[in-house]
């Protein structure tokens, strides 16, 4: 059996944002609200695909260790770039559309 819920006191700006989000996701407002409530209040273990839980959770020492660990990823290996031909990096101009021919009568 489907349960119903009524919302009272929802301001116009919030409703407009909900409707806009539903349009972007190609969902009905009802479906968007149901999915949002399920995600927020679902029972069991939740899975996240972001690092929000780590924000502000590291000590200065841990942050420094992490920065040191990822520093090599910022280095550019000149040997790899020299091995590639310069032509591989050139962008070809977009093709122009064919000109329309005028038919004489």
- 51 or 74, which is more confident: 74
How confident is the model over 57-73, as pLDDT tens digits? 788 898 899 999 999 98
Average pLDDT over residues 86-93: 64
For residues 48-59, one letter each, b for 16 or more C-beta atoms within 10 angstroms of the residue's C-beta and e for the rest, the string is eeeeeeeeeeee
- Given a contact cutoff of 8 angstroms between Cβ atoms, the answer to whether 66 and 58 are in contact is yes
- Given a contact cutoff of 8 angstroms between Cβ atoms, the answer to whether 21 and 32 are in contact is yes
| 86 — pLDDT class (breaks 50, 70, 90) | low
Tokens standing for residue 89: 């990096």
CA angle 44-7-31, nearest 5°?
Answer: 55
Give the sign of the dihedral formed by CA 24, CA 27, CA 28, CA 33. Answer: negative
How confident is the model over 13-34, as pLDDT tens digits? 999 999 999 999 999 999 999 9
Average pLDDT over residues 79-93: 67
């Amino acid at each position: 059996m489907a349960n119903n819920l009524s919302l009272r006191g929802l301001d116009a700006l919030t409703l407009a944002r909900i409707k806009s989000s539903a349009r972007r996701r190609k969902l009905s407002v009802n479906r968007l609200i149901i999915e949002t409530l399920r995600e927020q209040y679902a029972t069991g273990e939740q899975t996240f695909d972001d690092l929000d839980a780590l924000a502000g959770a590291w000590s200065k020492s841990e942050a420094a260790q992490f920065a040191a660990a990822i520093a090599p990823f910022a280095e550019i290996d000149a040997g790899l770039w020299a091995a590639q031909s310069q032509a591989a990096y050139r962008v070809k101009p977009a093709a122009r559309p064919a000109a329309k021919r005028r038919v004489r009568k």
